[in-house]
Structure 1
Amino acid sequence: MRKQKFLLKTVVYVLLLLGATITTIPFLYMVSTSLKGQTYVFEVPPKFIPTDPTLQNFSDAWNSNNFQGYFMNSVFVSVLTTVIVLISSSMLAFAFARFHFRGKRFLFMIILLTLMIPGMMLIIPQFILAKNLGLLNNLWGLVFVYVAMNIAVNTFLLRGFFEGIPRELEDATRIDGGGFFTIFFKVVLPLSKPALATVAIFTFLFGWDEFVWAVISINEPEKYTLPVAIATFHGAHQTQWGLVFAASLFAIFPVILAFVLLQKHFIKGLTAGSVKG
């Protein structure tokens, strides 16, 4: 039995290592290419370790084509979207988890139904609404749409987590004279850091990586976010792959940083929110 368990565990670890290696290779190749001069990009056979590594691609990418402006546009849109979604979805989820009101179940079912609608089907209605509200070609228009697209799923996630918080803690707060706002801000939210971290990561990733709506709604180049900018950057430098991959690494870095900072809460929050509700 011990030999069988050891053999099974070994096979599992080997398969996990193989899967991790396969998924990591494209990223390593991108890093490798970003460190190569144009002369070595298409060498055969390709080398993961550059013959003459250089950081010039990173300097050129950061200082060309208003890349810094694109980077700040993405930071503005992603951070603002994340903050608004955290506030609105947590309040909405708390209401569904703790309050009793007429039509509560029906309204929550409507929220769940919105999760079943493919995002691409909403492009035309979003465009018409944004046009009528004057939000086309505007970073605030991106924030408005991104918030609307993220509230439903994050409300569902947070509601499940909030329902797992013992009601006795809220009762004790009421006995001490605290109201709903005190319970929400000083009891529920501090205990919900794992779920809030999960929501923050998902929302930030969405705002940072979203391409379709950004390329449709933004026409002025100075208002591009990074995904759109890198696509046009690739068009302007289609033979300079080292430059394109260096720009892509700049775009990936904040995502990796956000996950590293919040990873200790991520798995716990995702699991808790997915099994309750």
Structure 2
Amino acid sequence: INYPQSYVGYQQLDYVTGTTWSNNDYLPDEFSFSVSGHINGNFYFKRNREILEGNYNGFLIDEERYSEQSAYKDFISGFTIIDRQGLKYYFNDVEKQKTYSSADPFTSYVIGNNTLYTSSFFLSQIMNSNNNSAFSFEYTDYTEQTYSDLSTKSHFEDWSSTSPCGLCSDYYHGSLSGNDNQTISSYKQTIVGKRLNIIHFQDGYLKFTYDLGREDVPGDNALSSIKLYDQNNNLIKGYKLSYAYFISEGGSEPCYNRRL
């Protein structure tokens, strides 16, 4: 489940600032969910915190909240979705993000949103209609950082009604194009993500291994093998994966030209 950023800490200040400049988005946030081959859709929160499914499929969707009154904490800790066959999907493993920004790439970054916020909920368990576990999912945490730079140019122009020659109604004076000031804004995003490790089911489990470095995402690892084991840890079948890379001729994202 993809979770929109909530307004806490600096985000409250950003919200007030946005209101002042009339550039806030007041429409309800859209949550999207997907379990390949089983369920997919979206939903919203109404003002009374009731959940409204976007395209009605007959799913029952409920939120799980964590509250700590002494620390003024109250946030969504997970979701439960029940489909029309009575299967229950629990999304309790969370991925978090934090954004930093700097007006100069050679200065230290400052925190943009004050704290890690939940960006996604990962599937933790699937229960059947008899409340027996059909599948459970284990994840390992990883940390990844991405960077992006934005080059900007500013140009000052001032038009005055007074002309030194007295012949024209408007007179331009200010910085010429050759005197443009150039600044660079730099952004860094830290992701504390989830990487699927094991899927448990009644007859055994699937094991996922990541020990290949990725050239398209520095610091990240690629899936290298998938192995199927029975309940007694005997290997039933396995697959090894390899990858090739190529240089693209361009794309919508600057500085991203290596593709997996």
TM-score, normalising length: structure 2: 0.21
More strand by share: 2
TM-score, normalising length: structure 1: 0.20
